[in-house]
Amino acid sequence: MTANTTKEKYNQLCENEYIPVFSQPWWLDIVAGPENWGVVLGEHREGITSAMPFTMKKIGAIKIFKMPKLTPWIHIWFKYAPDMKYNSRLAFEKEELDALLPQLPSSIRFYQKYSYGLTNWLPFYWRGFRQTTRYSYIIDDLRDLDAVYAAFKKNNRYEIRKAQKILSIIDAEDIDSFYRINGLAFKRQNIKMPYSLQFLQNLDAACKARQCRKIFFAVDADERVHAVLYLLWDERSAYYLMGGADPDLRSSGATSLLIWHAIRFAATVSQKFDFEGSMMAPIEKFFRSFGARQTPYFAISKNKFPMNFVELLR
């Protein structure tokens, strides 16, 4: 089976099954490039039983598995039978992963992060892979917004009330201004912007065409932009994809107000709100303060050569 045939089958699968936005073909085309992602399938007589997208980076003739920009994880899809018992699910996952993993292209470096739908990484472990646990923060149910708000830390609610007195939230279409404010957070930490304006423009155009994003600005009476937030969603979850704030205006509470506004909007288009988490202590503390549930997911890796050599290729 050719790679194109496999992708065609995966495209059809995505049209008929729930596949999160970060593993949709159109998303991978933008963030990785059409030639830098693929998918391996588990197939039986009854059809496709599992699907594992992957993303790669080419360095000359060498290929390494690498996560693309603005993509927190990739989703492995399993076709579970109705009412499958827990032990049967584990056995099924092992059988499918044992079929999927040998199909992956050969590479000297494997690094992929997988959605929290994957809770059992033992089939990877038994094949010599390593795992690092990462965390996201998720509000699982948006149906009762009063309960969601009540779960916020007291200081968050104070910041929101304070910001509401001086700021307005507007729907924006200006991705260039968003990029500028978004970049201030990286500048403050002396970190190079991890993506270009052109990259973000292309991604935003694709999201806008599919009506799965909102850009929110918090502005004051003088039309100064205090903070920005980029919300992405699919049918089951909304995602705090990007944000940023003007460091000279950080005391206004704009970011807390934006998050609360984004959560309320998310309740109209999806079921959950995913902060996407952070392994940085100050950001983790801030996300946790919104009453979201800490949710683990796996970063899985494997190297054929010592890390000091592999690092030269990153």
Residue range 198-222: average pLDDT?
98
Residues 199 and 259 in one domain: yes
Coil, strand or helix: which one is 234? coil
Residue 243, pLDDT score: 96
pLDDT per residue as tens digits for the range 231-275: 999 999 999 999 999 999 989 999 999 999 999 999 999 999 999
Q: Does the pLDDT at position 61 exceed 90?
A: no
DSSP for 131-193? EEEEEEEEE---S-HHHHHHTS-HHHHHHHHHHHTT-EEEE---HHHHHHHHHHHHHHTT---
Distance CA 27, CA 29 (A): 5
Residue 311, pLDDT score: 54
Number of domains in the chain: 2
> Does residue 291 fall inside a structural domain?
no
pLDDT band at residue 190, thresholds of 50, 70 and 90? confident
Residue range 178-188: average pLDDT?
92
> Does residue 119 fall inside a structural domain?
yes
> Does residue 167 fall inside a structural domain?
yes
Query: Domain of 164?
Result: 142-270
Residue 279, pLDDT score: 82
Strands 130-139 and 293-303, bridge-based pairing: antiparallel
pLDDT band at residue 189, thresholds of 50, 70 and 90? confident
Distance set, CA 272 to CA 55, 242, 256 (Å): 26, 17, 18
The CATH number of residue 44's host domain is: 3.40.630
Residues 265 and 149 in one domain: yes
The CATH number of residue 245's host domain is: 3.40.630.30
Residues 122 and 16 in one domain: yes
- The three-point CA angle 147-151-152 to 5° equals 125
Q: To the nearest whole number, what is the mean pLDDT of the chain?
A: 94
pLDDT per residue as tens digits for the range 34-43: 999 999 999 9
Residue range 294-313: average pLDDT?
78
Distance CA 16, CA 153 (A): 40
Distance CA 277, CA 241 (A): 10
Distance CA 223, CA 243 (A): 18
> Does residue 287 fall inside a structural domain?
no
C-alpha dihedral, 30 to 5 to 38 to 93, nearest 10°: 130
Residue range 75-94: average pLDDT?
96
Q: Does the pLDDT at position 92 exceed 60?
A: yes
Residue 58, pLDDT score: 85
Residues 153 and 93 in one domain: no
> Does residue 285 fall inside a structural domain?
no
Residue range 83-88: average pLDDT?
95
- What is this structure's pTM? 0.94
Residues 116 and 192 in one domain: no
Residues 111 and 158 in one domain: no
Residues 220 and 173 in one domain: yes
Residues 127 and 146 in one domain: no
DSSP assignment, residue 74? B
Distance CA 105, CA 6 (A): 14
> Does residue 137 fall inside a structural domain?
no
> Does residue 306 fall inside a structural domain?
yes
Residue 306, pLDDT score: 65
Distance CA 190, CA 238 (A): 29
227 contacts 260 by C-beta, under 8 angstroms: no
Q: Does the pLDDT at position 308 exceed 60?
A: no
